[in-house]
Amino acid sequence: MILRVCSTPGACVDMNGSEQVSKTAVLTDSASDIPRELEEKYGIDILPFSIVVDGQSYTERVDFTNEQYYEMLTKAEGIPKTSQITMLRFLEKFCAYADEGYTDVIFVSINSAGSNTYNAACMAAESLRDERPGCTMNVHVVDSHTYSMTYGWHVCEAARKLQAGADVKSVVEYLEDQLARMEIMLSMYTLRFVKKSGRVSAAAAFAGELLGLRPIIHMVDDTTSTIAKVRGDSAVMPGLIVQTKKRMAEGTPYLIGATDDGNAKMLAKMCKKEFGYAPAATFLLGAAVATNTGPNAVAIVYQGEKRR
């Protein structure tokens, strides 16, 4: 969704007809799992989700680190619940950008199929005209159709391109093109948390644990499916690699995600040997994914065929 698009990339014309210098904000939500060093390096603005754990509300990226969240998750009696970023919060943010003289805002959201974040941002963008009459700022709202650094990585790349002098139109096109190719291959070493979240029945989880079965989960666009099962923890990483290799576009960058730095390094080493080149980055899975997988998961993020 793009509102109030200028006809000339990189520049906007104000209500008096004079050209404004382009000034673009890059905004995303905390489910993007962007490491703090990249957030600061590229000047990315991140709106945090609130998470309620056993009745206590926490703000992601403020009240806990990923490692602390894994510990909280292990001890939690119930399933943590995420509070949505509201339309009013987005409107406040967009108004602040307009008041600071920004000509463009690029916001990339978590998958709209699993969150109302994208819709809230769109409604706020539409309300901006009423809140700030005469505002000429462009708001570009992009639905990532995915989770975690699968879109966070491309948000960082978008910010890098803008810093290097790319125009807004080409950066938005880059995001839409790349996000239409991204896929996740994911697994976990226990079924306790997928059972707890209701994504797997108690009976299926019990049988799976009894047999030592570990699911290989494929996440693409709005679909999450178990495409294979392996037996035993030692088969998890090889199983991920086998399924990824079937679908990954040859020679394209990939990322390694995990809830444990040691597992991330081990999977990265195995992937480098199998694919012939190292991952572009490794990262820790944040609350949006870990709440369902538990604090013992591994993932490969990669490019498949373009779907949109």
In a structure prediction context, what are the per-residue pLDDT tens digits for the chain, which is 308 residues long?
544 433 223 333 343 444 567 899 999 999 999 999 999 999 999 999 999 999 999 999 999 999 999 999 999 998 899 999 999 999 999 999 999 999 999 999 999 999 999 999 999 999 998 999 999 999 999 999 999 999 999 999 999 999 999 999 999 999 999 999 999 999 999 888 876 665 666 656 656 777 888 999 999 998 999 999 999 999 999 999 999 999 999 999 999 999 999 999 999 999 999 999 999 999 999 999 999 899 999 999 999 998 87
Residues carrying CATH 3.40.50.10440, the chain: 2-49+84-179
The tokens for 103 are 């000509």
CA pair distance 102, 61, nearest whole angstrom: 25
Residues carrying CATH 3.30.1180.10, the chain: 182-303
C-beta of residue 93 within 8 angstroms of C-beta of residue 99: no
Q: Where are the alpha helices (DSSP H) in 49-148?
A: 66-75, 87-99, 117-131
CATH number of 182-303: 3.30.1180.10
Q: CA distances (Å), 48 to each of 8, 36, 164, 288, 294, in order? A: 33, 13, 27, 11, 20
The amino acid that residue 205 corresponds to is A
Class of domain 2-49+84-179: alpha beta
Question: Which residue is listed with tokens 């901006």?
Answer: 128
The 10s digit of each residue's pLDDT in 204-250 is 665 677 788 899 999 999 899 999 999 999 999 999 999 999 999 99
- Stated pTM of the model: 0.90
